[in-house]
Amino acid sequence: MSQSTILYEKRNTTAIVTFNRPDKLNAFNEKMHQALALTLDMIDADDSVRCLLITGKGRGFCAGQDLGDRNVAPGAKKTDLGATISTYYNPLIQRLHASKIPTICAVNGVAAGAGANIALACDIVIAADTAKFVEVFSNIGLLPDSGGTYHLPRHVGLARALGLSLLATPLKAEKAKDWGLIWDVCAPDDLMAEAVKVAENLAAKPAIGLALNRAAIRASFNNTIDAQLELERLSMQKAGFTDDYAEAVAAFMEKRKPRFTGK
Ligand code: T3D
C-alpha cells in the first residue's frame, strides 16, 4: 500500500495508520476515505492488534476535507455535505469511539477542520510542539463536524469551544495541552517514538479491562451518576471475570511480572 493515500504498518501489536497526501496537508478526498475504511476493517479483523496509532505524513496532520473536490463554480449543482458526512465522516468517528482497542493520535503538524476533530476523537492525543489545531469551519460558512461540536465543549468548556469554533483561531499544541484538549506535547523529532511508547504501554495491559475502562469514561458524559455507578458495577463484574485480572493479582502477590493473554 506504499503509494496509497493511507499507509499501514504493523509494529509489534500496534497498528500505525498514516494519512498520506502530504502535498494537500493530508486533506481527505473520497479515495482516502475509502482507503482508510478498508485499512480500519483490516485492523478490526486482526485480533493480534492491541492499539491503533494514527498520524500524518509531511508537515501537516490533516486539513480536513479536500476543498479541491468541491465544485463551487457558478451555476454548479450544490454539493450535499450531509451525504459525505453520513457516508464517511460520521462512520469514522463512530468507529473510533466504538473501537475495541485504544486509539492514539500523533499530531505531527496542522490539524484543521475534520482533521482536528478526527484527532480529538482518539483516546490519547500527543502533538508535536509545532502542531496547531484549527476549527476552520466558520471561515467557509460551516460548523465543526466529525464530533467537533461534541468533543470541544466537553474537553475545554463552553467559552473556549465557542471561541475556537466561531473565531477559527489556530490553537498551538502547548496551549491545547494547557486547556485539556490533548494529552501531551513533545518535540517533533520525538513524536513517533513517544506515541509508539504509549501504544506499547497500552498494548501490554489487559485488553478487556482497557476496553471496559475507555467505554465507561466515554459513556459518563451522557449518564446520570446512578447510571454511571451501575455501568461501573457491571464493567467491574466483567473485568473481574477475566483471566488477566486473576493473573495481575497473582503476579502482584508473587512479586513477578504478569503474563497477560487478553482474555
Ligand atoms: O465537504 C464535505 O464533505 C463536508 C465535510 C467537511 C469537513 C471539513 O474538514 S471542512 C474544512 C475544510 N478544510 C479547510 O477549510 C482547511 C483549509 N486549509 C487551511 O485553512 C490552511 O491550509 C491550513 C490552516 C490547514 C494550513 O495553512 P498553511 O498556511 O500552513 O498551509 P497552506 O499554504 O494554506 O496549505 C498548503 C497546501 O495544502 C496548499 O497547496 P499548494 O498551494 O501548496 O498547492 C493548500 O491549498 C493545500 N491545502 C490545505 N488545506 C487544504 C488544501 N487543499 C485542499 N483542501 C484542503 N482542505
Is 50 found in the same domain as 162? Answer: yes
Nearest to 60 by CA among 106, 121, 9, 10: 106
* Segment 189-201 mean pLDDT: 97
Nearest-CA residue for ligand 1 atom 53 is 24
- Do residues 109 and 133 make contact, with C-beta atoms less than 8 angstroms apart? no
Task: Give the helix/strand (H/E) hosting 51.
Answer: strand 51-56
DSSP 3-state of 50 = coil
Is 248 found in the same domain as 140? Answer: no
Question: What is the pLDDT, as a whole number, of residue 3?
Answer: 62
Interval between CA 24 and ligand 1 midpoint (Å): 7
Ligand 1 lined by 132 (C-beta under 6 Å)? no
Interval between CA 109 and ligand 1 midpoint (Å): 13
56 occurs within a structural domain: yes
Is 189 found in the same domain as 75? Answer: yes
Give the number of residues written for the chain: 263
Ligand 1 lined by 136 (C-beta under 6 Å)? yes
Domain CATH code at residue 57: 3.90.226.10
Ligand 1 lined by 114 (C-beta under 6 Å)? yes
The tens digit of pLDDT for each residue in 77-90 reads: 999 999 999 999 99
CA dist., res. 111 & res. 44, Å (int): 25
pTM (predicted TM-score): 0.96
The tens digit of pLDDT for each residue in 45-60 reads: 999 999 999 999 999 9
The domain total for the chain is: 2
Q: Which domain holds residue 215?
A: 207-254
Is 104 found in the same domain as 183? Answer: yes
Q: Which amino acid is at 59?
A: R
Interval between CA 22 and ligand 1 midpoint (Å): 11
Strand pairing category for 6-11 and 60-62: unpaired
The pLDDT of residue 19 is above 90: yes
13 occurs within a structural domain: yes
Phi/psi at 75 (nearest 5 deg)? 85, -10
* Ligand 1 pocket test, candidate residues 5, 23, 25, most atoms within 8 A of CB: 25
Cβ atoms within 10 A of the Cβ of 113, count?
A: 26
CA torsion through residues 175, 176, 181, 187, sign: negative
